[in-house]
Amino acid sequence: MQSIDFYNDYKYCSACDMYVTYLMSIHDSYCTKCGDKVRLFSKKDWEEFNHTPTPKKNKSSQTRRKTLGFGRAQ
Ligand SMILES: [Zn+2]
């Protein structure tokens, strides 16, 4: 729980090019270091987040299960 709160205290500032602590206003959040607007993810992280295919995860966990069972049988 504590770590989740800690993580939420950071957003990405493109001006600083890093995750920073921020000040929240009604509509936007602002970097405490330079005062620029911050966002939840960096552009790179956001693209990774959007392009990560979710069905693959199910497949790999299934494969892992199968492999485990097979190893046990031997
Ligand atoms: Zn900044």
Dump the DSSP string for the chain.
-HHHHHHHTEEEETTTTEEEEEEE-SS-EEETTT--EEESS-HHHHHHHHH--SHHHHHHHHHHHHHHHHHHH-
Q: Which domain holds residue 49?
A: 2-73
Q: Give distance in angstroms: CA of 36 to centre of ligand 1.
A: 5
Q: Give distance in angstroms: CA of 31 to centre of ligand 1.
A: 5
2 — pLDDT class (breaks 50, 70, 90): very low
Q: Give distance in angstroms: CA of 23 to centre of ligand 1.
A: 11
Number of folded domains that form the chain: 1
CA-CA-CA-CA dihedral for 69, 72, 73, 74, to nearest 10 = 130
pTM: 0.54
Q: Residue 1's pLDDT is what? A: 45
